[in-house]
Amino acid sequence: MELGFIGLGIMGKPMCRNLLKAGYECVVYDLVSESVEELVKAGARGAKSAAEAAKEKEIVITMLPNSPQVRQVVLGENGIAAAMEPGSILIDMSSIAPLASQEIGAALAEKGVEMLDAPVSGGEPKAVDGTLSVMVGGKCEVYEKVKELLLCMGDSAVYCGGLGAGNTTKLSNQIVVAMNIAACAEAFTLAKKAGVDPELVYQAIRGGLAGSTVMDAKVPMMLEGNDRPGFKIDLHIKDLNNAVETGHALGMALPMTVQILEMLEQLHGDGLGQKDHSALVRYYEKITGVSVRR
Ligand code: NAD
């Protein structure tokens, strides 16, 4: 089967490579032509526009930064909505606002095009290994049709409910990840300030109740001073803003999320928006004068 794949960034590239390895033919597009070339070298066919990548495809996948980019690529001028045929399926794997998924899905439904929101968790390493966690919203029967394809990119896919439920699940995920990173940054900075080696603290606590996937992925980066993204601070700001907007629309305050959002905003203001979100430890470095780096 030939698929359209649009958005070849940190995540999209390895996800598309795994689809190629699984035998899918992919027509790919990104604003960055070097990224298209990389995938062409891996066996994909390059397109000159998103609409060209989507034309006559049963399934189109998008992996873009946020709601405005997905709206533009799908519904904007020369968008893929006009190129997709009734009965075809858009799987948007970007992490966007749940309300935006519902709006885009409603516009596509008018053309008879189905849509799933299927954001992922696991970051670049799991995108490379094909072991992402996929959380899916939309019609269950549409999900059943594409489940096998999703499992070429992930080792789990969970159907979470109607359109937007995938992104609501992802926002919950992003709150937990942000708080875990902030907790690690605060705790390891305290240890260093108190004269205890953060490396030993990590070894002592990682197997206990405080241990987590986030701790194992991000604390070694903090100790190495490695802030190569990974997951960029600016993307985490985007997710937490979407979480706060979603909460406010439901009449719910998110006091802890807002606190971490402010720390990340400060780092963005300090020019660190393109660094990995584990660079949140730099916020603590700034306010304490203490670095956890080895
Ligand atoms: P990225 O910034 O590396 O990639 C986004 C890509 O989209 C870029 O290559 C960009 O050129 C392309 N793009 C933007 N606008 C476009 C347009 N109009 N037409 C075509 N291409 C366009 O981001 P990423 O890290 O790959 O993340 C993509 C999505 O996945 C985001 O929603 C992010 O929150 C989510 N996500 C990222 C990670 C991670 O660890 N990086 C993990 C899980 C989920």
Residue 231 Cα to ligand 1 midpoint, Å, equals 10
pLDDT at residue 10, rounded to an integer:
95
* 19 plus 125 within the same structural domain: yes
Shortest-distance Cα residue to atom 21 of ligand 1: 30
Ligand 1 site residues (CB inside 6 A) read 6-12, 29-32, 35, 50, 63-65, 69, 72-73, 94-95, 120-121, 123-124, 230-231, 235
The two three-digit tokens of residue 169, written as one number: 């699940």
Here the CATH number for the domain that contains residue 236 is: 1.10.1040.10
pLDDT of residue 219: 98
7 and 39 share one domain: yes
Ligand 1 nearest atom to the CA of residue 119, by list position: 44
> Which of 147, 162, 177 corresponds to the end of one domain?
162
The helix (H) or strand (E) run that includes residue 219 is helix 213-224
Pair (134, 6) in one structural domain: yes
What's the structural domain count of the chain? Answer: 2
Q: C-alpha angle with apex 172: 277 to 149, nearest 5 degrees?
A: 90
Residues 86 and 128 placed together within one structural domain of the fold: yes
pLDDT of amino acid 126: 96
**Boundary (domain end) residue, out of 120, 142, 162:** 162
Q: Whose CA is nearest to atom 14 of ligand 1?
A: 64
Q: What is the C-alpha separation between 233 and 261, in angstroms, rounded?
A: 10
Residues 6 and 113 in one domain: yes
- Closest ligand 1 atom to residue 13 Cα is 26
* Interstrand relation of 120-121 and 132-137 (parallel, antiparallel or unpaired): antiparallel
> Is residue 17 a part of any domain in this protein?
yes
Same domain for 126 and 221, yes or no, is no
* 63 shares its domain with 101: yes
- 257 lies in which domain range? 169-288
Q: Is residue 24 part of a domain?
A: yes
| Same domain assignment for residues 9 and 151 | yes
- For residues 44 and 62, state if they share a domain: yes
Give the Å distance between the CA of 187 and the centre of ligand 1: 31
Please report the pLDDT score of residue 236 as a whole number: 98
Q: Is the dihedral of CA 143, 146, 152, 153 positive or negative?
A: negative
Looking at the structure, tell me whether residues 144 and 99 fall in a common domain: yes
215: left (phi over 0), alpha (psi -120 to 50) or beta: alpha
> With the CA atoms of 267, 268, 270 and 274 taken in that order, what torsion angle do they form, in degrees rounded to the nearest 10?
100
Q: How far is the CA of 66 from the centre of ligand 1 (A)?
A: 8
CA torsion, points 238, 244, 248, 252, in degrees to nearest 10? 160
Catalytic annotation, residues: 170
The whole model's pTM is what? Answer: 0.95
pLDDT of residue 55: 97
Which region, left, alpha or beta, applies to residue 251 given φ > 0 means left and ψ of -120 to 50 means alpha? Answer: left
Adjacent-strand bridge partners of 29: 6
Closest C-alpha to ligand 1, atom 31: 65
In this prediction, residue 128 carries a pLDDT of: 98
Helix (H, G, I), strand (E, B), or coil: what is residue 120?
Answer: strand
Is the preceding omega at residue 230 within 30 degrees of 0, hence cis?
yes
CB-based contact 265:223 (threshold 8 Å): no
For residue 290, what is the DSSP state? -
Residue to probe by mutation, ligand 1, list 5, 6, 11, most atoms within 8 Å of CB: 11
In a domain, 293, yes or no: no
CATH code: domain of residue 74: 3.40.50.720
Residues whose CB falls within 8 Å of the CB of residue 14, separated by 6 or more in sequence, listed in order = 124, 127, 128
Nearest CA to ligand 1 atom 25: 10
Distance from C-alpha of 116 to C-alpha of 288, rounded to nearest angstrom: 45
pLDDT in tens, the chain (294 residues): 899 999 999 999 999 999 999 999 999 999 999 999 999 999 999 999 999 999 999 999 999 999 999 999 999 999 999 999 999 999 999 999 999 999 999 999 999 999 999 999 999 999 999 999 999 999 999 999 999 999 999 999 999 999 999 999 999 999 999 999 999 999 999 999 999 999 999 999 999 999 999 999 999 999 999 999 999 999 999 999 999 999 999 999 999 999 999 999 999 999 999 999 999 999 999 999 999 999
Residue 119, domain member (yes or no): yes
- Does one domain contain both 144 and 191? no
**Cα 133 to Cα 173: distance, rounded to the nearest angstrom:** 11
User: Quick count: other Cβ atoms within 10 Å of Cβ 181?
Assistant: 29
Choosing from 27, 30, 153 the residue with most ligand 1 atoms within 8 A of its CB, the one to mutate for a pocket test is: 30
Could you give the 3-state DSSP secondary structure of residue 255?
A: helix
Question: In angstroms, what is the span from residue 209 Cα to ligand 1's centroid?
Answer: 33
Do 157 and 212 lie in one domain? The reply is no
Q: How confident is the model at residue 149, as a pLDDT?
A: 98
Residue after which a domain boundary falls, among 137, 162, 187: 162
In a domain, 294, yes or no: no
261 CA → ligand 1 middle, Å = 20
Task: Report if residue 99 sits inside a domain.
Answer: yes
